[in-house]
Amino acid sequence: MTAAQFVNLLVAALLLAGVYAIMSYGLALAYGVMKLVNLAHAGFMMLGAYLTLEAFRRLGLDPLLGAIVTAGVLWLVGMGVYWLLVRHVPTSDEPTLPSLLLLFGVWLVLQNIGYFIWGTQDQAILTPRTLQTIRLGPVTLPVVRVLVFLVALVGLVVLHLVLGRTWFGRAVRALTQNRQASRIVGIDVGRTAMLAFGASTAFSGLAGGLLATLYSFNPDFGGPFLLRSFVIIVLGGLESFAGVALGGLVLALLETFSVLVIPAGYQLALSFGLLVVALLVLPGGLPSLFAWRRRL
């Protein structure tokens, strides 16, 4: 492999990592605040992809702008799902079987709605910039991937500011750390959980819309990316938002450079293998490894 090929693969991995991170933040947010393993994450990503497609075809909305609008729509959908269904599930400090079954059912319902409305054929969002590239010396940058990365980066910055500098962010971090203490100090746990579930759904929809500009998709679209999200949040630590970004980078690097030794069709198996290794060797994620090294 030449130096130019290495740099191109590295840049491709970095661009992919941004999308992987924003894809996984929704899952991490739902787990951190409500201890929910949100299996419906896959269905909301699929819905985000199709809503972005419809906004592009019917309204002529740029797909990147359409993905942002879709995120806003799915925030409202997520709050509705929480109010109608999720809030009635008993809460616990650990994920419960009723919540897993409920959200798995929501995923199946969304998937079948997708089949009913859009059928089984693969869809794709193609624009004049889909095949455009930018050359910077030996590096070739696909325009659409750069733009998707920038949108994802803005989303991550907005999330960081919201979590760090707003009342809602402080309430979310308090719930993540101690649910009972949050009640004692006056935080409206139900309202905060509803807003957080809506935000989780919004990030799922945004990720789905962004991924739809990069890949073809169908109603089964969300499943493989749900597995990748699990890998990323396990690598990053289930409640570490900074760790999620690091986990997204690790998975993107592994998948991108793995094409040198294995066919691209085996990437999902590689992700599953990494999940198993992470659960067995690093159950606390990469942050626990850094903490262990500091103690030495």
pLDDT band of 1, cuts 50, 70, 90? low
Q: What is the CA radius of gyration of the chain?
A: 19
pLDDT band of 193, cuts 50, 70, 90? confident
Judged on CB neighbours under 10 Å (0-12, 13-18, 19+), 233 is buried
> Of 4-8, 131-135, 284-288, which range is least confident?
284-288
Per-residue DSSP letter, 94: S
Residue 129 has pLDDT above 90, yes or no: no
Taking the C-alpha atoms of residue 270 and residue 85, their distance in angstroms, rounded to an integer, is 35
The letter for the amino acid at 202 is A
Top mean pLDDT of 22-31, 34-43, 212-221, 229-238 is at 212-221
H or E stretch at 17? helix 3-34
Instruction: Tell me what the mean pLDDT of segment 67-84 comes to.
Output: 93
> Of 3-12, 89-98, 159-168, which range is least confident?
89-98
Taking the C-alpha atoms of residue 26 and residue 42, their distance in angstroms, rounded to an integer, is 11
Over pLDDT 70: what percentage of the chain? 91
H or E stretch at 55? helix 41-59
Instruction: Tell me what the mean pLDDT of segment 250-269 comes to.
Output: 80
Coil, strand or helix at 93: coil
Residue 296 has pLDDT above 70, yes or no: no
Residues 6+ apart with CB under 8 A from 5: none
